[in-house]
Chains A and B, each alone.
Chain A
Amino acid sequence: MKSFDVLIIGAGPGGYVAAEEAAQLGNSVAVIERNAVGGCCLNVGCIPSKAYLQYSRWLSAVQALNKNGISVAVNQIDFPSVVRRKNKIISTLQSGIHMTFKRNGIHYITGEAKHVEGKIFEVNGERYYGKHVLLATGGAPFIPDIPGLSDIDYLTTNTFFDMETLPNRLAIIGGGVIGVELAYAMKSFGTDVTIIEAAPDILLTVDPDARSIVKEKLQSMGIKIIVEASVQKVKKGSVLLSDEEIPFDRLLVATGRKQNLEIPMAMGLELDERKQFVKVNEYYETSMKNVYAVGDLIGGHTLAHAASAEGVKAVRAINGKKERPVSPYSIPRPLFIDPEVSEFGMSEEEARKKGYDVIVEKMPFSFNGRAICANETEGFVKIISETRYREILGAVIVGPDAADLIHQILAVREAEGTVDELANTVFAHPTVSELIQETAKRIMKHQ
């Protein structure tokens, strides 16, 4: 039996980042992965969707040229070549992780981990023991119980990126972040897309002002959005709602994710009240001593970067360096369509509920010179602050490179800076970032 200081199960963003940290702290480390290194994020999530969405950007630049004095024609969309490029990006990043593992002496084990007892696991007939075990087994697409679904060939995010030919008509059940990003990408390639959402609106977790801009954009592109849909049945080639039939060539089911709880259950770890997530303490330790869990498994913002941040903290706690847990208010939540959306922290409503004397200011990109030049004036910067210290409680950006821009505000917040520091920083002119400063200056005017 091989023994390691830290045995990590799952090589997604939670596991592989934690592995590197553990190795650098001098631990002997092994990572077990049943699928591909990089987890869902790298293989069937964040990265492949961004590879596709890059084409949307390029294609919308072509449209912009045509509308603004330069005529260009798109002659052919060679989808197999798009898929090949996506695969190449994935393998580049995978080999990057393998290199990191090699450089840090991290033992990588391919295969399904089965719990034997205590902190002993078996992979391909070989046993492994971890003095400390870190579970980062993530999740898988959740498939709702829809009549007829199991009889047809549908896609999930696990299979979507294997699709080699562009469908003419794509129906997507689920209007969350994943559903919307893929709808946007596929519409850019020319596919007819319908989003079917059972909730009262798409993107319910997103700031309402941002949501309405996104929704308008999707609709202006010709994406059909059906909300409060009641899916009666699915059959080959169509989704039957209570009042209409949505035809499709391919159907994508993107209705959220469920946690991979097989190993935590086998180990008898305590779960939360709803039996959905693994219960951990402030240092990410589960109910079993020296067994830790991070990422999708423990809930919260189930995003790649949250998992990585948690993994690092768990490993530090294992090494006797206890840190405060990742704050849910410090996790940026991006949506990568055009305009991009990103937000972090408290909403205005949440801040009021917490008793802050709230100040909210919102400025549109249509006031910003650089955004006007770039023809990207949809969107805004919104900062949620308060009167006492002008603390940065939250922010929402919709607009050019919002997912990157938001870090300017977040970094100031993390350094315990306030709106004052944003307002007093000299921003280069003309930049889209200036709108952040403009918004901060507006807040400074409140007394």
Chain B
Amino acid sequence: MATEILMPKLGLTMTEGTVEHWFVNEGDEVQAGDAVAEISSEKLTSEVVAPESGTIIKIVAQVGDVVPSKAPIAYIGKPGEQIGSPTPSAGAPEPKAVKTAAANEPAKTESKKKDDGERIFITPIARKMAKELGIDIRNVVGTGGNGRITRLDILRYQASMESPAKDRAPSASAVSYGAGLAGLRKTIAQRMMRSVQTTAQVTNHRKVDITELMKFRDEIKSKVKDPLVHNELSINTLLTKAVVLALKDTPDMNAWYHNGEYIRVEEVHIGMATAVEDGLVVPVIQNAHLMSLSQLGAAIKKVTTEARQGTLDGSLYSGSTFTITNLGGYEIEYFTPILNTPEVGILGVGAIQKELALEDGEVVEKLKLPLSLTYDHQIIDGAPAAEFLGKIADYLQDPYRLLL
């Protein structure tokens, strides 16, 4: 039966070696202890000797091949013997030889991977998606059990790949932003830092009287017979509609600025900042300018719900032209939202406030909505930004225009 000549393991750290030179050819006779090949590992070179006397019947590793330690590089046997020829004494050689030969390939790939660090855990679907999208999974941070890369990690990674903001950051700083953080937290850290480092952000604050808007809501609610199931009259939907209309009136604000290029975008794609289990994402309502109130309400509900459930399509995590972020649910009035670059504007929405006002000498109750508009002063100046906010206010104060 054939005897294997193995790649030696010289020391604890050696996992593989390279065949540098063969001193013998197939068919040569060798004595036990004869040097047959020279191999090298990372640290040293060494000779490989024949473990027993016989004929070299097969050389399986050529010069330059990298072979794992303890894997065969050649076989010694009787002249004419096949590695696979079964011998009655031991049924093993064939399967063994086949097995080791087959093991060679995966072993090689594995050693390659080791250069890059540890084994990567990834779910089968995530692996297929990464392959389809051309994503190098070594760059993806896994958030599943055991650090496993899941479908959601690929979707979010895809979104960060597609975001033009990424190109904008100097590559050196990109490495340090988010250092020590993992997963979505790291992405958020990087995006926020890139945003504040590359833009000139100013925030305008003002309150908008929405007393009429609330009356308008109640009136419609009382007149529509079917239950309104699409959130068409939620404050968020009405406000988004006002923003969309104001953006159509103000093309300068519905724009991207990155890589020295300022692009006004024809379509209005609204990003809706949404808190999710492990951070914040900005799902996108595409083509919001084409939507009726009920379509808009349904779309907002759909993308934010799907983002929270982790079922949102990967393409809807980026591509917005203007973002809305709402902290009204937390009783916040004003804040200074950070631009979702490469956008040039973001609107922060606060909690509705009850205020007293004088009207024709009478004290009346007014409902006021605090708004915070952050804009990139590189592109937009203070007065046009104020005008833009004014347009949003006009639509909210004259709510029937939202239906037109």
Q: A323-B277, A324-B308, A416-B150 are in contact. Are A389 and B229 (CB under 8 A)?
A: no
A260: shortest Cβ distance to chain B, in Å? Answer: 23
**Which of B125, B151, B308, B310 has the largest number of chain A CB atoms within 10 A?**
B125
Residue A420 CB within 8 A of the other chain: yes
Residue of B126, B277, B305 most packed against chain A (CB within 10 A):
B277
Partner of A418, one of B124, B228, B305, B310: B124
Q: A147 at interface (Cβ–Cβ under 8 A)? A: no
Assembled-state Cα–Cα distance A388/B151 (Å): 14
Provide 12 A-B residue pairs closer than 8 Å at the C-beta atoms, listed in order of the A residue: A273-B227, A324-B309, A325-B308, A325-B309, A327-B309, A388-B132, A389-B125, A391-B125, A415-B124, A417-B124, A418-B125, A418-B128
Note all chain A residues with C-beta closer than 8 A to B309: 282, 324-325, 327
Say yes or no: B128 contacts A282, CB within 8 Å. Answer: no
B82 at the interface (CB under 8 A from A): no
Closest residue of chain B to A323 (Cβ to Cβ) is B277
Decide yes or no whether B123 CB sits under 8 A from chain A.
yes
A418 to B128, CA, bound (A): 10
The distance from the CB of A166 to the nearest CB of chain B, in whole angstroms, is 47
Q: Mark out the residues of chain B between 32 and 49 whose CB falls within 8 Å of any chain A CB in the assembled complex.
A: none
Q: Mark B291-334, 1 if CB is under 8 A from A, else 0.
A: 00000000000000100111100000000000000000000000
Q: Say whether B107 faces chain A, with CB atoms less than 8 Å apart.
A: no
Is B277 in contact with A417, judged by CB distance below 8 angstroms? no
Q: A102 within 8 Å of B by Cβ?
A: no
In the complex, whether B129 has a CB less than 8 A from a CB of chain A is yes
- Check A282 against B227 for contact (C-beta < 8 Å): no
A interface bracket (residues with beta carbon within 8 Å of B): 10 to 19
For the complex, give the distance between the alpha carbons of A324 and B305 in Å. 10
CB of B262 to closest CB in A, whole Å = 36
4 A-B pairs with the lowest CB-CB distances in the bound complex, closest first:
A416-B123, A322-B277, A273-B227, A416-B125
Chain B residue at minimum C-beta to C-beta distance from A324: B310
CB under 8 Å from chain A, chain B span 103-161: 123-126, 128-129, 132, 150-151
Q: Which residues of B contact A327 (CB under 8 A)?
A: 309, 311
- When distances are taken between beta carbons in the complex, the residues of chain B under 8 Å from A282 are 305, 308-309
What residue in chain B is nearest A390 (Cβ atoms)? B128
Minimal beta-carbon separation of B158 from chain A (angstroms): 14
Given pairs A325-B308, A416-B123, 10 additional interface contacts (CB within 8 A): A273-B227, A273-B228, A322-B277, A389-B128, A389-B129, A391-B125, A416-B126, A417-B123, A418-B124, A418-B125
- Least distance between B334 CB and chain A CB atoms (Å): 22
Contact partner of B277 (CB less than 8 A), chosen from A324, A415, A418, is: A324
Q: Does A112 contact B (CB under 8 A)?
A: no
Q: Is A421 in contact with chain B by the CB < 8 A criterion?
A: yes
> How long is the Cα–Cα vector from A139 to B123 in the complex, in angstroms?
38
Task: List, in ascending order, chain B residues with CB within 8 A of A322's CB.
Answer: 276-278
Chain B: residues with Cβ within 8 Å of the partner, total of 20
In Å, the complex CA distance between A420 and B124 comes to: 9
The answer to whether B229 touches A273 (Cβ under 8 A) is yes
- A64, B212: Cα distance in complex, Å: 76
Within 8 A of A (CB), among B229-250: 229
In A390-447, the 8 Å CB interface with B consists of 391, 415-418, 420-421
Instruction: Tell me the bound Cα distance from A325 to B307 in angstroms.
Output: 11
Which chain B residue lies CB-closest to A417? B124
From B124, B227, B276, B311, name the one whose CB has the most chain A CB atoms within 10 angstroms.
B124
Inter-chain contacts of B132 with A (CB < 8 A)? 388
The residues in A between 251 and 283 inclusive whose CB is less than 8 angstroms from any CB of B are 273-274, 282
Contacting residues, chain A, for B276 (C-beta < 8 A): 322
Say whether A417 contacts B125, CB under 8 Å: yes
Looking at the assembled complex, report how far the CB atom of B252 sits from the nearest CB atom of chain A, in whole angstroms.
36
CB neighbors of A among B326-384 (8 A) = none
Contacts of A420 in B (CB 8 A): 124
A117 vs B399: C-alpha distance when bound (angstroms): 37
* Nearest-neighbor residue (CB-CB) of B151 within chain A: A416
**Interface positions of A from 84 to 99, Cβ below 8 Å from B:** none
- Tell me, in angstroms, the Cα distance from A75 to B129 when the chains sit together: 62
In the bound complex, what is the Cα–Cα distance between A325 and B305 (angstroms)? 10
B327 to chain A minimum Cβ distance, whole angstroms, is 15
**Which residues of chain B in 209-237 are interfacial with respect to chain A, using CB atoms and an 8 Å cutoff?**
227-229
User: Which residues in B have their C-beta under 8 angstroms from that of A388?
Assistant: 132
Chain A, range 45-62, C-beta contacts under 8 Å to B: none
Give the CA-CA distance A282 to B274 in the complex, in Å.
Answer: 12
Q: Nearest residue in A to B152 (C-beta to C-beta)?
A: A324
B150 partner residues in chain A, CB cutoff 8 A? 416
Q: Let me know if A416 and B124 touch, CB within 8 A.
A: yes
Question: Once bound together, how far apart are the Cα atoms of A327 and B310, in whole Å?
Answer: 10
Please indicate the chain A residues that have their CB under 8 angstroms from the CB of B229 in the complex.
Answer: 273
Q: What's the Cα separation between A418 and B124 when bound, in Å?
A: 7
Chain A residues in 8 Å Cβ range of B129: 389
Within 8 A of B (CB), among A289-330: 322-325, 327
Q: How far is the CA of A389 from the CA of B132 in the complex (A)?
A: 9
Residues of B within 8 A of A273 (CB): 227-229
Among A274, A282, A327, A420, the most chain B Cβ lie within 10 Å of the Cβ of A282
**Closest residue on chain B to residue A419 by CB atoms:** B124
- Kindly state the separation between the CA atoms of A382 and B151 in the bound complex, as whole angstroms: 24
